[in-house]
Amino acid sequence: MAEQLIPHARSGFDDEPDLGCLEEFDQIIRLQGLRSALLYLNALVPHRFTALYRLDGPTFVCRAAVDAEQEELPVDLTEVPVADSYCQFVLKDGVFVTEDARRESVLDGHKYQKALLSYVGQPIYLSNGETYGTLCHFDFLERKVSAQQQEFFASAVRVIAAAAEKASTSAA
């Protein structure tokens, strides 16, 4: 189901963007899992990648990622030291958005500043306040995301946090 959304949603990013439906997203993550949920999110934005990174000590570990071009995530992005990540800014500021990293002074000298040009990230916190990780869209090209898309993304993070909590209690 989510896989069918990619060609449709990716066809018209110059037009009014599809903002998504939170109920549909919740159903997808519950019934089809995280990968399908990320496919759904990725279909709503022009960014090539959508990923969930789990904070594991000094490292962000990619738990799931999708690529609109259906290639593998570059190996050096599967496990990223916190200090080398854009996720560090998400946790520090509560959100991090850049359309072009080359113009962000906070990224001056950053390992990925000239490679990952656009990024939208939201933190994932569990109900007990624990930092689970981050959810992000990113691309090697400049990309814009509307305020409405960012709002939906923030709502999707809450759904993912609830799913992560449910999965951890059922695994225990």
pLDDT at 111 (0 to 100): 93
Predicted TM-score (pTM) of this structure: 0.87
pLDDT digits (tens, 9 = 90+) for 13-45: 555 556 789 999 999 999 999 999 999 999 999
Beta-strand ranges (E) seen in 57-172 are 59-67, 79-81, 96-98, 118-125, 131-139
* Burial class of residue 6, CB neighbours in 10 A (0-12, 13-18, 19+): middle
pLDDT digits (tens, 9 = 90+) for 72-109: 777 678 899 999 999 999 999 999 999 999 999 999 99
Picking from 35, 54, 50, the residue whose alpha carbon sits closest to that of residue 132 is 54
pLDDT at 169 (0 to 100): 72
DSSP at 78: T
pLDDT digits (tens, 9 = 90+) for 105-161: 999 999 999 999 999 999 999 999 999 999 999 999 999 999 999 999 999 999 999
Q: How far apart are CA 121 and CA 88, in angstroms?
A: 10
5: pLDDT strictly greater than 90: no
52 three-state secondary structure: strand
Beta-strand ranges (E) seen in 44-150 are 49-56, 59-67, 79-81, 96-98, 118-125, 131-139
Picking from 135, 129, 140, the residue whose alpha carbon sits closest to that of residue 150 is 135
Contact in structure between 164 and 135 (CB atoms under 8 Å): no
144 three-state secondary structure: coil
Phi, psi of 30 (to 5 degrees): -70, -40
Taking residues 1-18, what's their average pLDDT? Answer: 47
